[in-house]
Amino acid sequence: MIAARLLRAVAAFGRFWWDFLIGDTPEIFVVIVLALVVVGWLSLGAHAALAAGIVLPIVAVGALVHSLLRATRSR
């Protein structure tokens, strides 16, 4: 009984975060996670830090444009 309730609560918690972060825009989630990994790797070198800083906003804009084109293409 308690285990079932706990399981339901965990499932609801997982569902909330899935809807919150992924929902109907999985492309934004994937692009940003990949960008953070790449920028993290780039920023390891002292001279690459600035380049990494330029990559992040460009990727964010790119993810937004891609998601908007995906949303409006099917209409």
Q: List contacts with other proteins (CB under 8 A).
A: 16, 20-21, 23, 25, 28-29, 32-33, 36, 39-40, 43, 49-50, 52-53, 56-57, 60-61, 63-65, 67-68, 71-72, 75
> For residues 7 and 41, which CB has a smaller minimum distance to other proteins in the complex?
41
Q: Nearest distance from residue 40's CB to other proteins, in Å?
A: 5
In the numeric block, the tokens 């975060």 are attached to 17
The Cβ-side half-sphere exposure at 70, using a 13 Å CA radius, reads 11
Residues 41 and 51: beta-carbon distance below 8 Å? no
